[in-house]
Amino acid sequence: MPFARIDLAKGKPPEYRATVGDVVYEGIVGILKAPDGDRFQVIGEHAPENFVFDPNFLNIKRSPDLIYIQVTSTVGNTKEQKLGFFRQVADELNRRLGVRREDVFISLVFVDREDWSFGNGEPW
């Protein structure tokens, strides 16, 4: 049951943000194998002074078009699925929006089922 946070610099049009959300969702369902319809995302825009990153960390040249993607999910994906998710999201954002692969920063966070409540204050 993934939850995705997507953060980017302020100023992109709604269609751009929607496409980023679509790409992340398609990777979550297609690669990480979440059930179809399991779409919970927050897309945040940030003023430049609140969107902080090192433009050269690990010798990767990042631009102000950087996109942060953090997906929290239950434990269970293989290393191959994780790597496939990273590649697919970077490739699709590049293909569909022209986002440089260097500007796709992804973090996967895995937690146990007992760490979730989907509503009503009830555990999953």
Are the C-beta atoms of 104 and 90 separated by less than 8 Å? yes
Q: Has residue 122 been placed in a domain?
A: no
DSSP 39-56: --EEEEEE-GGG----TT
**Structural domain boundaries, residue 48:** 3-115
Kindly report the CATH number assigned to the domain that includes residue 62.
3.30.429.10
Q: pTM for the full model? A: 0.94
Q: Has residue 120 been placed in a domain?
A: no
Q: Has residue 124 been placed in a domain?
A: no
Number of domains comprising the chain: 1
Catalytic residue among 2, 14, 48, 64: 2
Catalytic annotation present for 2: yes
Q: Has residue 99 been placed in a domain?
A: yes
Q: What does the pLDDT look like over 63-119, one tens digit per residue? A: 999 999 999 999 889 999 999 999 999 999 999 999 999 999 999 999 988 888 888
